[in-house]
Amino acid sequence: MKKLNDNNKLAIQMLIAMVGGIVVGMLFMALRESLGADSNAWTTINKLLFQDITAAGGESAVGLFYIGGQLFIRSLQLIIVPMVFSSVVMAISEINEARTLGRIAGKTIGWFMMTSGIALVLAGVIALMFFNMGFFHVQVDGLTGSAGSTGSNPLLVLLNIVPSNIGATLSVNNAVLGVVFIAVVVGLAMNMLGLGKESVIYRLCEEVSKIIVVFLNFAVKKFGPAAIFMLLCRTFATYGIDYLKPAAVYVILTVVLLLVYLFIGYPLYIALVVKQNPITFIKKIFKVIVFGFSTSSSAATLPLNIDTTTKELGADNQIASFVLPLGMTINMDGTAIMQVVAALFIAGCGGYDVTAFQLLIIMVLALIASMGTPAAPGAGAVILFTILSGMGFVNDQALIAYSLILAINRPIEMLVTSLNVTGDSVTAIAVAKSEGKLNAEAFNAK
């Protein structure tokens, strides 16, 4: 009971931090607009509180909010690789039948495809309506067209499943799919060799997992709310409104679609498929939503997502330890929604016509591209160029509109991350339910 009360207290603290960070950040935004972004007064404030000290011109800055937020995110990134590796190895090694593993993997991929497909249809149909009504046909001035070198082949995600170097893969945070592959191979090999819970590898992973839990609880509970406040305050304080006006329809439509899928779509899955109370789900997953929104990184949110999905929402640890790291890499419902709406907005700005068949192609490209999107801030808008180049939306006006998306997309990416991590949790719960391994008592505990 005490742990549940602590979790409720943490969720409330995170909510207060989120609201406070946004409000204070917007006050600083207003101050920035009134003083002038190039004024000496704002430059001094920016250097003291918000400046990225790693960027050009940040050599003499203090950047208190930047340092505070980055220290917290880096502390979470520190445990991503050992957490994913240890949890997946233990989960796979405990599944005695290859048939069971194959069934779980099949259900997981099926859920990823289903939720992403429904998200794409929702976004595509609504965005095409707005496109046909002329809301996306706007003139964007004052920006330089973006170069086309930002695109990458989304099929690289298939190639990156199998890494060529174990040491290199385990030493970076942007190769999580490779880490999952190595962990699955190790777990399967342990199964074939009959290495059980008494083996050295299993006990090592188990002890690493316990250490990670202690570290995570300490970092999130002691520093999470303060870090969320600093991250959000800095984001909105340094975010100008000059670029927002010509893309207001894009921003509003994307935010509405993301919120609808987050607070209506996912709860419907929980109610209709999992047969559990959707309100309970939202209450318990809310701190993960806030955390994803604040950090704008699925990778940084993964530890908290695993802890919440297993301990509070009752998903089996073996299943969640397999589904969530995999989902962090290839399950991007929010990214897919954003990319479809952005592609149609850019097509409208570029003067292109979009037919229903072309929309279908955009949706397929968005699905593939979203699966290849790194779990890092800003990655979705960069990968967006894959869709634009694939559709031929690359004239000067389209590239200028693309530059606009890059300039204004940070707040949207934050909400996209919340959607992505929630979708991973929903899939883990649904798969656990289908396997008879969902603890309904834990799910419904107050």
CA distance 89 to 143: 49
Place of tokens 């706007």: 138
Q: Report the pLDDT value the prediction gives residue 146, as an integer from 0 to 100.
A: 45
Q: Are 408 and 247 in contact, with CB atoms under 8 Å apart?
A: yes
Number of Cβ within a 10 Å radius of residue 349: 26
Q: Report the pLDDT value the prediction gives residue 72, as an integer from 0 to 100.
A: 86
Among 191, 192, 232, smallest CA distance to 318 is for: 191
Q: Report the pLDDT value the prediction gives residue 426, as an integer from 0 to 100.
A: 96
Tokens in use for 271? Answer: 């109610």
Rounded to an integer, the average pLDDT of 98-107 is 81
Place of tokens 């949706």: 363
The pLDDT tens digits for 206-215 are 898 888 888 8
Rounded to an integer, the average pLDDT of 176-199 is 83
Write the CA distances from 125 to 263, 291, 336, 364, 429, integer angstroms: 19, 30, 13, 14, 28
The pLDDT tens digits for 135-168 are 887 766 555 444 444 445 556 666 777 888 888 8
Residue 108 has pLDDT above 80, yes or no: yes
- What does the mean pLDDT of the chain come to? 83
HEC secondary structure over the chain: CHHHHHHHHHHHHHHHHHHHHHHHHHHHHHHHHHHCCCCHHHHHHHHHHHCCCCCCCCCCCCCHHHHHHHHHHHHHHCCHHHHHHHHHHHHHHHCCCHHHHHHHHHHHHHHHHHHHHHHHHHHHHHHHHHHHCCCCCCCCCCCCCCCHHHCCCCCHHHHCCCCCCHHHHCCCCCCHHHHHHHHHHHHHHHHHHCCCCCCHHHHHHHHHHHHHHHHHHHHHHHHHHHHHHHHHHHHHHCCCCCCCHHHHHHHHHHHHHHHHHHHHHHHHHHHHHHCCCHHHHHHHHHHHHHHHHHHCCHHHHHHHHHHHHHHCCCECHHHHHHHHHHHHHHCCHHHHHHHHHHHHHHHHHHCCCCCHHHHHHHHHHHHHHHHCCCCCCCHHHHHHHHHHHHHCCCCHHHHHHHHHHHHHCHHHHHHHHHHHHHHHHHHHHHHHHHCCCECHHHHHCC
Which residue segments constitute the domains of the chain, with CATH numbers given? 97-167+243-444 (1.10.3860.10)
Cα 76 to its chain centre, rounded Å, is 14
CA distance 135 to 415: 22
The pLDDT tens digits for 319-377 are 998 899 888 878 889 988 998 999 999 898 888 888 888 898 888 888 877 765 555 55
Q: 438 forms bridges with which residues in the sheet?
A: 315
The pLDDT tens digits for 47-69 are 999 888 888 777 888 889 999 98
CA contacts within 13 A on the Cβ side of 317: 14
Rounded to an integer, the average pLDDT of 417-439 is 94
Q: Are 289 and 422 in contact, with CB atoms under 8 Å apart?
A: yes
- Percent of the chain whose predicted confidence (pLDDT) is above 70: 87
Q: Which of 115-119, 347-351, 429-433 has the lowest mean pLDDT?
A: 347-351
Q: What angle separates helix 248-260 from helix 98-132, to the nearest 10 degrees?
A: 140
Write the CA distances from 322 to 38, 84, 218, 331, integer angstroms: 49, 9, 24, 13
